[in-house]
């Protein structure tokens, strides 16, 4: 039997900033194994820096929520059809879809049907909602790269090749984050009690959660007069949006507590804080790795929620809770996410420190540490090794190429 053809051309699609980070790390490691390989597709700035040619801007795929997706659906369908046509005509060795399952799984299905090997990086949440998607995934994906161990069961059950590669964030974040050092870097009061506010990186998240977070801060300030707040802003758009909400808060309350806005540096802001209040998402994993008492908020538009609720098979969203199968962090979902309830949950964490000798937090911290060590696998290297190993067993052999 002739040897497997080395990978020379990889098509790759990432849909948002988190996918761009994963893609850049993966490309960096794949280049070490396949130095002559070229990469092209939809890439963010980090992937482009690693040499990936972006055929379309990544922002084309950055859309969330039922109504926004429906509005942009014709554009997204045309984009996917154009990419499929181009790659079916030019035949890359391999396609890697990074997250963005609603876009990538359909694209992978078309490519796989034409003999192009397909890999999907970041498991869709089939364990959480719309579980029947696994049948479509089986038709679309040759190899699934999972970030979390609990995701593998469903792929093994359906005989889909898979590896759990761990999470790059677990590699980047130290096992113990230095609060004092983080405060010094951000010029924050080293003695103050600080709450980190993270109402989301998307405009829709900020719209639904920002005002609630500000109103909660007002309640906390009344109860704890010396408390301070820090709010890392993903970009200028989110900063402007939050500043407008602060103006509404001032008109509503007359005076607001001190809320220090920071450009980016969300990880440093979390490390500098005593407590975190955040929108549900990947950031909840980062809060676990940084190991701070956290309150998680989840809110989408009412129409989107009615649709999603019917499709859900879980009642928790925070990654630490999903990993541990315990309610380590309080989650306030949809109508339960109010300033009063957010205030009560933060106050419970503060009261835990003041009156219970931190017993609850000690148990949570221990669980956080266990999962940090479990996910710390050098994910970029592990993912590239997994692809190399899988390709050696399943890639195109030279005689197929020469036909």
Question: Tokens 């949809």 belong to which residue?
Answer: 334
Q: What is the pLDDT along the chain (403 residues), one digit of tens a residue?
A: 567 788 999 999 998 888 999 999 999 999 999 999 999 999 999 999 999 999 998 887 765 555 556 666 778 889 999 999 999 999 999 999 999 898 999 999 999 999 999 999 999 877 655 678 899 999 999 999 999 998 998 999 999 999 999 998 999 999 999 999 999 999 999 999 999 999 988 888 899 999 999 999 999 999 999 999 999 998 899 999 999 999 999 999 988 999 999 998 999 999 999 999 999 888 899 999 999 999 999 887 777 666 666 655 556 778 899 898 889 999 998 889 999 999 999 999 998 766 666 788 999 999 999 999 999 999 999 999 999 999 999 877 654 554 4
Three-state DSSP at 225 gives coil
Three-state DSSP at 294 gives strand
Three-state DSSP at 189 gives coil
What is the per-residue burial (b if ≥16 Cβ within 10 Å, else e) of 110-119? bbbeeebbbb
Would you say the pTM of this structure is higher than 0.75? yes
The CATH topology of domain 9-166+377-401 is: Rossmann fold (3.40.50)
Angstrom distance (rounded) from CA 84 to CA 52? 18
User: Domain limits of the chain?
Assistant: 9-166+377-401, 172-375
In terms of residues, how long is the chain? Answer: 403
Tell me which architecture the domain covering 172-375 has in CATH.
3-Layer(aba) Sandwich (3.40)
On the question of a common fold for 9-166+377-401 and 172-375, the answer reads: yes
Tell me whether strands 9-14 and 94-98 are parallel, antiparallel or unpaired: parallel
């Amino acid at each position: 039997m002739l040897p497997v053809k080395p990978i020379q051309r990889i098509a790759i699609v990432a849909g948002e900033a988190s996918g761009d980070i994963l893609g850049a790390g993966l490309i960096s490691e794949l280049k070490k194994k396949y130095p002559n390989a070229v990469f092209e597709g939809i890439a963010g700035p980090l992937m482009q820096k690693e040499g990936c040619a972006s055929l379309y801007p990544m922002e084309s795929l950055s859309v969330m929520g039922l109504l926004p997706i429906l509005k942009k659906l014709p554009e997204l369908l045309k984009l996917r059809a154009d990419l499929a046509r181009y790659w079916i005509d030019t035949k890359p060795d391999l396609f890697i879809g990074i997250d963005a399952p609603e876009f990538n799984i359909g694209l992978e299905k078309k490519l796989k049907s034409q003999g192009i090997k397909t890999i999907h990086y970041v498991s869709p949440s089939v364990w959480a909602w719309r579980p029947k998607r696994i049948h479509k995934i089986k038709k679309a994906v040759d190899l699934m790269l999972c970030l979390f161990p609990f995701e593998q069961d469903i792929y093994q059950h359906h005989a889909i090749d898979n590896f759990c590669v761990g999470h790059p964030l677990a590699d980047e974040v130290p096992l113990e984050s230095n609060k004092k050092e983080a405060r010094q870097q951000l010029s924050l009061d080293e003695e103050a009690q600080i709450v980190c506010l993270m109402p989301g990186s998307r405009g829709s998240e900020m719209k639904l959660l920002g005002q609630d977070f500000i109103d909660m801060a007002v309640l906390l300030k009344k109860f704890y007069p010396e408390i301070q707040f820090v709010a890392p802003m993903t970009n200028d758009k989110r900063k402007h949006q939050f500043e407008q909400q602060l103006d509404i808060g001032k008109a509503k309350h007359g005076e607001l507590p001190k809320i220090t806005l920071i450009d980016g540096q969300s990880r440093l802001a979390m490390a500098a804080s005593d407590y975190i209040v955040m929108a549900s998402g990947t950031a909840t994993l980062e809060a676990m790795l940084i190991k701070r008492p956290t309150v998680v908020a989840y809110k989408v538009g009412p129409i989107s929620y009615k649709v999603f609720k019917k499709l859900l098979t879980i009642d928790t969203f925070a990654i630490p809770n999903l990993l541990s199968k315990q309610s380590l962090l309080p989650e306030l979902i949809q109508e339960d996410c109010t300033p009063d309830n957010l205030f009560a949950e933060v106050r419970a964490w503060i009261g835990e420190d003041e009156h219970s000798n931190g017993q609850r937090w000690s148990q949570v911290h221990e669980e956080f540490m266990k999962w940090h060590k479990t996910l710390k696998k050098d994910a970029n290297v592990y993912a590239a090794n997994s692809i190399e190993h899988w390709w050696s067993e399943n890639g195109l052999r030279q005689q197929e190429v020469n036909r």
